[in-house]
Amino acid sequence: MYAKTSNSTPDTIKVQSDKGSLRLQFSTRYNPIFGGKRKYQPLGMKDTAENRQKAEAIAHRIESDLQHPDWEQLFDPTFAKYGIKSQYAALQLAAPIPESEPEMTVGEMWEDYLVWKRPQLEETTYRSSYEAAYSNLIKGLVWSKKTKTFTDAGDGLLDTRLGTLDIEKWFNESTRTQAIKQKTLAALSEAFARLQSLGKTKLAANPFILSNKNENKTDKYKPKVDADGIEREWWDVPDNESDNDERDRRSFSKADMLTIIDAFYSHKNAALRQVAPLVEFRFLTGCRSGEAFALRWRDCFRGTNQNNIVFSRSYDGHFRVTKNTKNGDIRIFKMYPKLRELLLKIKTENAQPNDLVFSKLNGKTWDSPTIQKIWDGRIEVRGETEYNYPGVVTQLADDGLIEGYLPFYNCRHTFISLQAHAGTDLFLLATACGNSVETIQKHYLGVNPDVSFADI
């Protein structure tokens, strides 16, 4: 059993205590000069505070000689030069000290990290963030909407060795958004910390941590420019939700909501009429899109009064997988008359517990890419001709039948806004929707222009 190693000794030679006596432990870098084995050099001194100081001084002298360009002339392999008794002398040098192994590249570190990280993440999170967004940034790849391909931006880190990084320059000069750069740096920082814990790097400082030396931390009321180039006052704090859908909390009015629902139910296309109950359900529950896609009849009419819906799963249409809800929670949603009426109307007599509540005409699961085409519209190119097929909601907005266009996801925010303004208990609303009371107070109650003080 060995006592602790001194923290003040050099990196490649450590002072250790072995059964009450001090010795030097040489780094494996020096193995070749000591017959291919790790060298331990006894010092013939008891482990006391005074002797440790002497041992550290000896270690520093030896370290200085070994690191010198003329080390072969300076270093004494008998250790007599360093005041170590002859009975503890080392063997003669067997080979020259090898050159230090170069630090691995960012790409090598990243690939090793991804293998380790993947089992800890939801598959969709791993594939969309780590394997796609972060990896593309590290590779310097930028997606072109025009050519539908990735192009090399010339600012990749993949082949850069860890010891030669200038992460401050890269962060300031890269044209990608602040948010994606920060998230990628956080992942790279974790990858490097793991590398250190495995002893696979000699670097002491994490090269992926920004110094923030130019940041004026005293002037907290100074306007700041966000990732979109918008200057914001100190009080106009942007949301820090993990995705754009959650950050965009705009909502339809109740009149617009009813117009949209009616447009789907009365559409001339049977496939689009099939979407109507799904659209209405999202407006009446505020659930996330994937939660509605994955809902089964066994999740409805739960509880002793058969009055609850349980949201426990979510379907991701991009990767075609069913997973946990966004926050990993299981939410209980209390039904109210209009919602119960909708579910009873669409439930068929032969519906089985594991059947999806909402499905396409062919029985398959709805997904966000399909809904987006129906909601937003699509453009098809045949030969040299471009055909524009407007979506249900974009057409309503273009025709002036609703105040304006909002994405399908904003059905959620419409429900929360209408319920909050109607006086629904905020704790009930927050629990049912997977939000916090503070979020609802800040983002939903505050946007009603008709709210005023009571006349007291």
Per residue in 342-352, pLDDT (tens digit) is 999 999 989 99
**pLDDT, tens digit, for every residue of 31-77?**
777 777 788 888 888 888 888 888 888 888 888 888 777 777 778 88
Query: Residue 308: pLDDT above 80?
Result: yes
Q: Half-sphere exposure of residue 312, counting CA atoms within 13 Å on the CB side?
A: 11
Is residue 428 in a domain?
yes
What are the CA-CA distances from residue 429 to residues 115, 286, 426, 444 (Å)?
A: 40, 10, 5, 11
Mean pLDDT, rounded, for 1-19: 61
Do 124 and 48 lie in a common domain? Answer: no
Do 120 and 59 lie in a common domain? Answer: no
Pick the more confident residue, 182 or 309.
309
User: How sure is the predictor about 276, in pLDDT bands with cuts at 50, 70 and 90?
Assistant: very high
Q: Percent of the chain beyond pLDDT 90?
A: 22
Q: What are phi and psi of 235, to 5 degrees?
A: -85, -15
pLDDT score of 377: 86
Phi-psi domain of 363 (left: phi exceeds 0; alpha: psi -120 through 50; beta: other): left
Do 438 and 366 lie in a common domain? Answer: yes
Is residue 110 in a domain?
yes
pLDDT score of 88: 44
Do 379 and 288 lie in a common domain? Answer: yes
pLDDT score of 421: 85
Q: In a 3-state reduction of DSSP, which class is residue 426?
A: helix
pLDDT score of 10: 44
pLDDT score of 100: 59
pLDDT score of 329: 78
What is the distance in angstroms between the CA of the first residue and the CA of the last residue of the chain? Answer: 78
Mean of the per-residue pLDDT values for the chain?
A: 80
CB 158 within 8 A of CB 138: yes
- Per DSSP bridges, beta strands 331-334 and 321-324 are unpaired
Is residue 397 in a domain?
yes
CB 178 within 8 A of CB 232: no
pLDDT score of 229: 55
User: How sure is the predictor about 110, in pLDDT bands with cuts at 50, 70 and 90?
Assistant: very high
Do 261 and 400 lie in a common domain? Answer: yes
Of 197, 223, 238, which residue sits at a domain end?
Answer: 197
CB 285 within 8 A of CB 276: no
Range of the domain at 123: 106-197
pLDDT score of 292: 93
pLDDT score of 439: 77
Helices assigned H by DSSP within 96-202: 106-117, 123-125, 135-139, 167-173, 178-197
Query: Residue 393: pLDDT above 90?
Result: yes
Is residue 168 in a domain?
yes
Burial 28-67 (b: 16+ CB within 10 A, else e): ebbbebbeeeebebbbebebeeebbeebbebbebbbebbe
pLDDT score of 7: 40
Is residue 171 in a domain?
yes
pLDDT score of 194: 85
User: How sure is the predictor about 255, in pLDDT bands with cuts at 50, 70 and 90?
Assistant: very high
What are the CA-CA distances from residue 381 to residues 296, 323, 390 (Å)?
A: 37, 35, 14
Do 266 and 164 lie in a common domain? Answer: no
Nearest to 15 by CA among 27, 25, 30: 25
What's the CATH number where 407 sits?
Answer: 1.10.443
Number of domains present in the structure of the chain:
3
Mean pLDDT, rounded, for 140-146: 78
